[in-house]
Copies of this chain bind each other. A is one copy, B any other.
Amino acid sequence: MLNEAKPRWTRRKDARPQELLSAALALFVEHGFAATRLDEVARRAGVSKGTLYLYFENKEELFKAVIRATIVPNIEQSEQLMSSFKGSTAELFREVIGRWCEQINTANMAGICKLMFAEASNFPELAQFYHTEVIARNEQMLIKLLQRGVDEGEFRELDLTVMPKIITAPIVMFMLWCNSFNACESHPVVFADYVDSYLSTMLTGLMKNK
């Protein structure tokens, strides 16, 4: 029919913010904050530049929104697991790490993580937000987990002020790795093998020698 020509734009009020956030996330992760052009964010989301400003006050607010929208939903899962788990602490540890690894693929956790480390010094306010909402909560959870292992005689005595960071490091590093040097490797790391070795080494290091 004659009037099949596609309209110049269509009303998408509800879907728009999410589409914009996805586009922005991808580009922020790829290029960093400063090098990401709003032009391109808009183009990737299939809208005009002006439309961005209907939903986000400016580039910085867009950045914050991206971080918030992507992080927050993924925090509580681990906390719930912690409080309900029956079984040995070693098994719980394997379970927590396992869940976490899943999020790397599904939620672009790796991308956000890299982004936050790269831009933290430029956005102190946002760094604080991330630290409070993600890092600190995560460490609290790990402290409880380790304490449980110690209390039940499974783990050695541990310095709980530093152990959460030490334990977490290999996983976080892997996330950063994905967005930085993985492409440089002739034989990229097999994640499953990496996690296996990590778990066995780390648990051996934590557990009481019998």
Contacts and interface: CB of A to CB of B under 8 A. Distances in A.
Copies per complex? 4
A5 interface: no
Contact of A184 (B128, B161, B166): B128
Interface in A112-131: 114, 116-122, 124, 127-128, 130-131
Contacts of A116: 180
A131 B184 contact: yes
A189 interface: yes
Contact of A194 (B31, B34, B165, B168): B165
A67 to B, nearest CB: 13
Interface in A99-122: 114, 116-122
Contact of A32 (B122, B183, B196): B122
Given A34-B35, A197-B158, A165 B189 contact: yes
A178 to B, nearest CB: 10
A158 to B, nearest CB: 7
Determine the main DSSP class of A at the interface with B: helix
A145 interface: no
A173 interface: yes
Nearest to A177: B165
Interface stretch (A54-62, A80-88, A201-209): A201-209
Contacts of A180: 116-117, 120-121, 127
A183 B127 CA distance: 9
Interface string A33-49: 11100000000000000
- Among A33, A124, A166, A183, chain B packs the most CB atoms within 10 A around the CB of A166
11 contacts: A114-B118, A118-B118, A124-B183, A156-B204, A162-B198, A166-B198, A166-B201, A168-B173, A169-B174, A173-B173, A201-B202
